[in-house]
Amino acid sequence: MSAQTHIVIIGSGSAGSEAALTIRRRDPECRITQITGSKLLFISRYELPRVFNGVSGWRELLAYPPEFYDKNRITVRRNSWVNRVDAKNKEVLLKHKEEISYDKLLVASGGGGYLPEGLREFRPLMNSFGSYEDAVKIREALPKKGHVIMLGGDMTGLDLARTLVGVGHRVTLVASEQLFWPHEVTDDQRVKFVTVLEDMGIKVELDKKVVAVKQGTKGKPARRVVFDDGGGIDGDAVMPFCGLMPSLDFMIGADVDIERGLLVNPELKTTNDSIWAVGDVCQIWSPEENNYLFYYGWHYIKEMGKIAAINMTGGKKTISTHKDDQLFINKKGEIDSPYWKHK
């Protein structure tokens, strides 16, 4: 590849970072630019619970130190939001009105926390958990022996839940259909795993439908979650964990096919010849299932980054579309997931 080749990666998460590093290894000459909305360099979502375990600053959580990017000549454009991708002119248009041209584009923008429609109006009263800032905010919102009400129950949430319980907080999980997402569990397994959760100290409310999140009344904790049966529970914070939704608004009109995620072939190329996509933002064609599927989990995501990078730099490799990740119970008798083993 010529020295002028500019590879732009939207997203600086696991997939994007792995792709950037692989591209650099395969092509010492090209320009690599990562664009991220985050103010910080990449911090893994799965590292965030450490904020409750004595981590006092974001520097300890960085996946790679700043020197890593300098050494590998990877430019990271932080605090930069992509408004639109102009596939015809091969340009990424940033919110701050800068135009960045690319030769090849990798979309690794991941997903944001999904919120069922009925809960969206209550977003200002809820704490999310997507970034370091979010993590510190929830830490600071909780008094000693605080009470967190979790809605949904996806695997990120359960990871945090076990951490919170471990540091002396109380967690009540108002489970929804996203319980254990993205793992798929049978009804039997579900009952078993819920029992394990209860044993781990997490109170689980099944079959409750949340209709409102309110500010707590005076003298009571800061939040109140109201159920459709008129009852409710009080807590210091409410956190939704209802799975992820691909972040791809900016790709609309970019000459790529979209279903729920960006549609890619097993080589991770989209329907545009210069654009690839990896991670939580893409749906990969699975010949086995004859369908486009999402693949989650750190291991998959890293693999995707690597394979896209190979294909973008003249190689040819397809991703295994076989899924084998399962929720299980570990030696300590706690639930565990391959997603949590990311190191």
Partner 1 sequence: MARAQKKSTDIQIAICGSAGDGTIAAGDILKRAMAKAGYKVIAFDVYPPEIRGFGKCISRVRISSEQTYSLKPLSDVLISLDDSHAIPHVVEVRDFGAVIYEDTPVSMVPEGAHISGHLLLTHLPYGVPFRELSEQVTSSARSRNIAAVGYLAGLYGMPRDVFYGVISDKFSAKPASLTQINIQAFDAAFEVGRDTFRLDEGHLNPPPSNARNGDLMMMSGNGAIVRGCMDAGLDAFFGYPITPATTIMERLASELPVKGKTMLQTEDEISAISATIGAGYAGVRAATATSGPGFALMSEMMGLGAMAEVPAVIFVSQRGGPSTGMPTQTEQSDLNIAVFGSAGDSQRVVLAPTNVEGCYKCAGKAFEIAERYQTPVIVLLDLYLSNRYEAVELPAKNPFKENCSKPVGKLKKDQTYHRFEITKDFISPRAIPGDKGYRHVVTGLEHDEKGRPRDQTHQKMSQKRHEKLLSVPRLPNINMSKRFGDKGKVDVAIIGWGSTFGEILEAMIVARTEGIRCAAMKVVLLSPLPLEPINALLNDSREVLVPELNYEGQFANMLTGATGRSVTRLNRVPGTPMHVQDILDEIRRLAGKKPGKAKGRKRLAAE
Residue 40 interacts with partner 1 (CB under 8 A): yes or no? yes
Q: How far apart are CA 148 and CA 295, in angstroms?
A: 29
Residue 76 interacts with partner 1 (CB under 8 A): yes or no? yes
Residue 57 interacts with partner 1 (CB under 8 A): yes or no? yes
Spatial CA neighbour of 312 closest among 110, 109, 103: 103
For tokens 């009571």, name the residue. 220
For tokens 């949904």, name the residue. 152
DSSP-derived secondary structure for 158-195:
HHHHHHHHHTT-EEEEEE-TTTTTTS---HHHHHHHHH
Choose, by CB under 8 A, the member of 25, 73, 95, 120 that binds partner 1.
95
Residue 133 interacts with partner 1 (CB under 8 A): yes or no? yes
Residue 289 interacts with partner 1 (CB under 8 A): yes or no? no
Q: How far apart are CA 241 and CA 218, in angstroms?
A: 27
For tokens 């706690």, name the residue. 334
Size, binding site for partner 1 by CB under 8 A: 28
Q: How far apart are CA 86 and CA 292, in angstroms?
A: 25
Contact stretch for partner 1 (CB under 8 A) within 53-61, 160-168, 232-240, 276-284:
53-61
Residue 63 interacts with partner 1 (CB under 8 A): yes or no? no
Cβ 229 to partner 1 shortest distance, Å: 36
If you ran DSSP here, which 8-state letter would residue 25 be given?
H
Cβ 67 to partner 1 shortest distance, Å: 8
Residue 100 interacts with partner 1 (CB under 8 A): yes or no? yes
Cβ 256 to partner 1 shortest distance, Å: 22
Residue 128 interacts with partner 1 (CB under 8 A): yes or no? no
Choose, by CB under 8 A, the member of 10, 30, 41, 213 that binds partner 1.
41
- SS3 category, 269: strand
If you ran DSSP here, which 8-state letter would residue 38 be given?
-
**Strand 147-152's sheet: what is its strand order?**
202-205, 170-175, 147-152, 237-241
Residue with Cβ nearer partner 1 (65 or 112): 65
Q: How far apart are CA 342 and CA 337, in angstroms?
A: 10
CB 95 within 8 A of CB 82: yes
Contact stretch for partner 1 (CB under 8 A) within 58-66, 154-162, 268-276, 318-326:
58-66
Contact stretch for partner 1 (CB under 8 A) within 77-85, 152-160, 226-234, 299-307:
77-85
Residue 98 interacts with partner 1 (CB under 8 A): yes or no? yes
Residues that bind partner 1 (CB under 8 A): 39-41, 56-59, 66, 69-70, 75-80, 94-101, 132-133, 136-137
